[in-house]
Amino acid sequence: FGAVIACGVFLLLLSLVGLIGAVKHHQVLLFFYMVILFLLFVVQFSVACACLAMTEDQERELASQGWKKASPSVRAQAERLFHCCGFERNASDPTAEPQCVNMLTCCPPQEIPPDGTCECQGCWSALHQAIRNGLKITGGIGMFFSFTEFIGVWLTVRYRNQKDPRANPSAFL
């Protein structure tokens, strides 16, 4: 959460640099604003392309690594939220995680068999669609804002060398 706030503060400061440079017709500020904004465009465009270009195998590998590194409480929370157990295993799998055996939260109460056993699906099948939607949304929003930044760079290049209307007309630039 702190990283999101830090990025927001950085973007706020960057926009203030551009605003001050434009109001004061300050060439150096506008130049650095343009360079930083272009670098930000490149990074954001790259991340957006990576989000939109991820294959299912790459998503599975990334989710698997995250599942292995997650704490047991985070795993349990995901299992409750998505009504699943383990990453790719179910209760009928002999190598299933121990807590996955007879886990009744995977079945709605009306569907619990008489013997009280309930097979849970692995969390990958439940997480896959959520991950896919998240990547599409993140990539789309990233593309939108990266092209907005590119328009900002283009406008800065276009209007950077204009004369200040309040300046002495006989002065150079």
86 Rama class: left (phi>0) / alpha (psi -120 to 50) / beta: left
CA 128, CA 125: separation in Å to the nearest integer? 5
Answer yes or no: are the C-beta atoms of 146 and 38 closer than 8 Å: no
119 Rama class: left (phi>0) / alpha (psi -120 to 50) / beta: beta
DSSP per residue, 34-72? HHHHHHHHHHHHHHHHHHHH--HHHHHHHHHHHHHHS-H
Each residue's pLDDT tens digit in the chain (173 positions)? 788 899 889 989 999 998 998 888 888 898 898 899 889 889 999 999 999 999 999 999 999 999 989 988 888 888 888 878 888 865 454 444 556 655 556 666 666 666 666 667 788 888 899 999 999 999 999 999 999 988 988 888 887 777 766 767 676 55
Per-residue model confidence (pLDDT) at position 91: 46
